[in-house]
Amino acid sequence: MSKRRIAVIPGDGIGPEITKATIAILEATGFEAEWTYLDAGLGAIEKGLEAMPETTIDAVREIGVALKGPTTTPSGGGHSSANVTLRRRLDLFANVRPAQTLPGVKGPFADKDIDLIIVRENTEDLYAGIEYQAHPDVAQAIKVITRPGCRRLVKYSFELAVRQGRHRVTAVHKANIMKLTDGMFLEEFYKVAQDYPQIKADDVIVDNCCMQLVTRPEQFDVLVTENLYGDIVSDLCAGLVGGLGLAPGANIGENCAVFEAVHGSAPDIAGRGVANPTALLLSAVMMLRHLGFNAQADRITHSVQRVCADGHCLTIDLGGKAGTREYTEEIIVQAG
Ligand code: ATP
């Protein structure tokens, strides 16, 4: 039988280190794939290509599944985001970001039983990239929200809730101020919710949501929201469960899926062998489940839980002393 083809975008900063670690762990569980390495980010620019080259977009579209490391996006000027380009060009409309308490991981919320999923819209909102200088002293941006875009995202979040046996989907918005855009999102949310009477549907204003998340995070189940709120709220949730080193994500479209960590390229620690590969590894676990390799996904998940609970081989971001290599070896041993 021919091996499953998977596109790999190692990306920038710590991307190549955590990608190598993740693939080593996947292969140690017996998962076999034909890995097709693709350029993106600063490495692509250095080769005279775009930050997200057309050849990479075409290859991911053709292969259908990608494991992606972070790519650096400069603030202010410079090249536009390789991530935003890939998500928009492949119409990866749903960004799924789970946040779950891991045993043994210390932090102010360690005693809370957090197990929530953020479903973030991935192609619209202020990320539509329509910004202009209206006047030398006035810059403006346009927030784009479409009814079909809201509908498919909300439907995806309810379907996900059904698939995972979850009980509640909460829409996160600012419809009290953004009456047309967020108002439309909320309207579509409650319309779609009628098709899922077994799931509790409710909504919360984004600022109140943030307050609730840092007081009673365990109350939430599935949160569905627009692009910008989702970006911010999902980093907040990553912080609740131990930081960016542990937060996985998936970008889902009709025909394609790209699995990547929530965090960025962490240039401050790149090349030092100290990056925590868990966020990308747990993204790869989401990829395994997407492909139907549930046994391998379970083995890796249990191994991460065991290593975190045991606590003697944690990476520096989690208060430990282990480098990427030691941690990776320990995950492989525990998954064995
Ligand atoms: P970018 O510009 O690519 O977004 P950034 O450094 O601004 O990069 P992140 O990469 O998200 O943003 O990193 C924020 C902080 O979290 C940094 O201090 C970084 O070192 C740390 N961090 C992020 N990911 C990891 C990881 N996998 N392991 C350890 N520390 C991490």
**pLDDT digit of tens for each residue in the chain (336 aa)?**
568 999 999 999 999 999 999 999 999 999 999 999 999 999 899 999 999 999 999 999 999 999 999 998 866 666 678 998 999 899 999 999 999 998 888 878 888 889 999 999 999 999 877 899 999 999 999 999 999 999 999 999 999 999 999 999 999 999 999 999 999 999 999 999 999 999 999 999 999 999 999 999 999 999 999 999 999 999 999 999 888 889 999 999 999 999 999 999 999 999 999 999 999 999 999 999 999 999 999 999 999 999 999 989 999 999 899 999 999 999 999 887
101 lines ligand 1 (CB under 6 A): no
Q: What are phi and psi of 5, to 5 degrees?
A: -85, 135
Note if 127 is an active site residue: yes
Separation between Cα atoms, residue 202 and residue 239, nearest integer Å: 24
Q: Helix %, strand %, coil % for the chain, to 5?
A: 45, 20, 40
CB-based burial label for 177 (10 Å; 0-12, 13-18, 19+): exposed
Judge whether 111 counts as a catalytic residue: no
**E-only strand ranges, 101-137:** 115-121, 131-135
Backbone angles phi, psi at 169, to 5 degrees: -125, 125
Q: What gap in Å lies between CA 306 and CA 42, rounded to an integer?
A: 36
Residue ranges and CATH numbers for the domains of the chain are 1-96+247-336 (3.40.718.10), 108-240 (3.40.718.10)
pLDDT for 2 equals: 67
Cβ-contact 99, 243 below 8 angstroms: no
Distance CA 301, CA 27 (A): 15
Instruction: List residues bridging with 115 in a β-sheet.
Output: 100
pLDDT given at position 133: 95
CA 293 distance to own-chain centroid? 20
Residues forming beta bridges with residue 141, ordered by sequence position:
131
Closest Cα to atom 4 of ligand 1: 264
Q: Locate tokens 């627009």: which residue?
A: 226
Catalytic residue among 125, 182, 203, 231: 231
Residue of 195, 202, 207, 310 marked active site:
207
Ligand 1 site, residue 107, Cβ cutoff 6 A:
no
Q: What is the pTM of this model?
A: 0.92
Closest ligand 1 atom number to CA of residue 13: 3
Q: Ligand 1 test: best mutation among 80, 244, 265, most atoms within 8 Å of CB?
A: 244
How many Å separate Cα 8 from the centre of its chain?
A: 16
Active-site residue, 231 included: yes
CB 150 within 8 A of CB 184: yes
Residue nearest to atom 5 of ligand 1 (CA): 266
- Residue in 5, 69, 13 with CA at minimum distance from that of residue 32: 5
What pLDDT is recorded for position 77? 65
C-beta of 244 in contact with ligand 1 (< 6 A): yes
d(CA 266, CA 257): 24
DSSP character at residue 126? G
- Residue 81: name the closest of 123, 133, 47, 121 by CA: 123
Which atom of ligand 1 is the closest one to the Cα of 73? Answer: 2
For residue 192, give the 3-state DSSP assignment. helix
**C-beta separation of 315 from 106 below 8 A:** no
298 is annotated as an active-site residue? no
197: CA distance to ligand 1 center in Å?
Answer: 40
Q: What is the DSSP string of 12-43?
A: STTHHHHHHHHHHHHHHTT--EEEEE---THH
Residue with tokens 């039988």: 1
| 233: nearest Cα among 261, 216, 214 | 214
Report the atom number in ligand 1 closest to the C-alpha of 278: 27
Q: Among the options 174, 182, 203, 327, which is catalytic?
A: 174
For atom 22 of ligand 1, which residue has the closest CA?
266
CA of 105 to the centre of ligand 1 (A): 18
Q: What is the DSSP string of 203-258?
A: EEEHHHHHHHHTT-GGG--EEEE-HHHHHHHHHHHHHHTT-GGG---EEE-SS-EE
Which among 318, 317, 275, 202 is positioned nearest to 21, based on CA atoms?
A: 275
Residues 6+ apart with CB under 8 A from 79: 45, 50, 51, 73
CB of 268 sitting under 6 A from ligand 1: yes
Q: Is the CB of 279 under 6 A from ligand 1?
A: yes
Binding site membership of 269 for ligand 1 (Cβ less than 6 Å): yes
Q: Which of 127, 156, 229, 327 is catalytic?
A: 127
